[in-house]
Amino acid sequence: MTEEESRRILIVDDESSVCDIIQRTLQQAGYRLIAQANSVPAARRRIEQEGPFALVILDITMPGESGMILLKELAPLAPQTVTIMATGFSGIETAVRALKMGAYDYLVKPLILDAVQIAVARALRKRLLELNVLERREQIEKLVLDRTEALEATRHALLKALCHMAEFRDAQIGGHLRRVPEYARVLALDLAQNSYHADRITEPFISRLVESAPLHDIGKVGVPDSILLKPGKLTPVEFEQVKLHTVRGRDICMSVKKHVGDEASSFIDVAVEVTYGHHEWWDGRGYPEGRMGPDCPLSGRIVHLADFYDACRSPRVYRPEPMPRDVVIRTIQNGRGADFDPEVADAFMRTIDRFAAVEEISDYTYK
């Protein structure tokens, strides 16, 4: 936009002589792009056809629609247009009301030409300052957005790196870490529609849950290979070592939380809930704390079922063949209210077909 285009002026007055006087005065002051309209409808058409003007000099009292009507329309239609109202002595009270509605200034008829030039110069200067502030604000917002996106990308990269740590220990875990978040998403979306948890399961909740779910077993990096990759049954002592992965996972996430800002803390909080609580059972027989019912966070209860389902339906070093789907479904159904949150188990029964769809896009062939 050229400097002249940034100073386009529209004069709206039903008296053509008044429009001509104002136009000549402004031309003498160096303004070139000046248009006229003799009514509010005519002004409206010019704005629609030519786009918003930098400044509108608007007579208040005209036959038909009042200038106050156009003033009210300009706020949403052309928010960057500044307006100067023109009125007779008897209309000063109305002009003051126009100022309260957003007009920048007003002129009293009969017009003093020097006053017209001064008012227009001030109004355009004010508009230029506001546009500069707006441009600067947009630049700052873009910088903030770019920085936020960079931080988000870094967070995702770190998340993937943490998950790959587990994959290096156990090649079979890769598909598991990709499926469990999708199962958790399926359950959360259903619970948002069909349970008393609906008010808690917002889009941000689901987003944080899906991001955090791959971290549920990150604590297994501290489990010795001799135990983690053991093909046979674990001894009680070995199982106690495995159970510690929930505590280690929580501690890993808590250590990350100390070094991130508030924007990422909500994600880390959910990761803590998931890593620490995904082996708690509804009836209190789980670990590490044996929490009962709602004492275990909802995120942990959702990932608990998602993790259980995929562990049963995946090959494992201690069980080379996956369990049949109907057996797994029946096990979860029977575990409703014992192993699993009843609401989460019900959501699973409603979404079995969607679970099957997640299996089909995984890197395992299920039987």
pLDDT at residue 163, rounded to an integer: 64
326-346 tens-digit pLDDT: 999 999 999 999 999 999 999
Query: How does residue 53 score in pLDDT terms, banded at 50, 70 and 90?
Result: very high
This prediction has a pTM of: 0.61
154-165 tens-digit pLDDT: 666 666 666 666
122-158 tens-digit pLDDT: 999 999 998 899 889 889 888 888 777 777 676 666 6
Domain boundaries in the chain?
5-140, 170-360
214-233 tens-digit pLDDT: 889 888 888 888 888 888 88
pLDDT at residue 89, rounded to an integer: 74
Average pLDDT over residues 99-109: 91
Average pLDDT over residues 251-255: 87
| CATH value of 5-140 in 3.40.50.2300, 1.10.10.920, 1.10.3720.10, 3.30.420.40 | 3.40.50.2300
Buried b (16+ CB within 10 A) or exposed e, 1-29: eeeeeebbbbbbbbeeebbebbbebbeee
Average pLDDT over residues 237-251: 93
Query: Angle CA(17)–CA(20)–CA(26) in degrees, nearest 5?
Result: 145
- The pLDDT mean for the chain works out to 88
The DSSP code for 10 is E
Average pLDDT over residues 251-262: 76
pLDDT at residue 281, rounded to an integer: 97
Q: Which of 249, 187, 185, 262 is nearest to 220 (CA)?
A: 249
Same fold, 5-140 and 170-360: no
Stronger pLDDT, 189 or 314, i.e. the higher one = 189
Farthest CA pair distance, the chain? 102
Asked if residue 181 has a cis previous peptide bond (ω within 30° of 0), the answer is no
Q: Which of 153, 147, 267 is nearest to 204 (CA)?
A: 267
Q: Architecture of 170-360 per CATH?
A: Orthogonal Bundle (1.10)
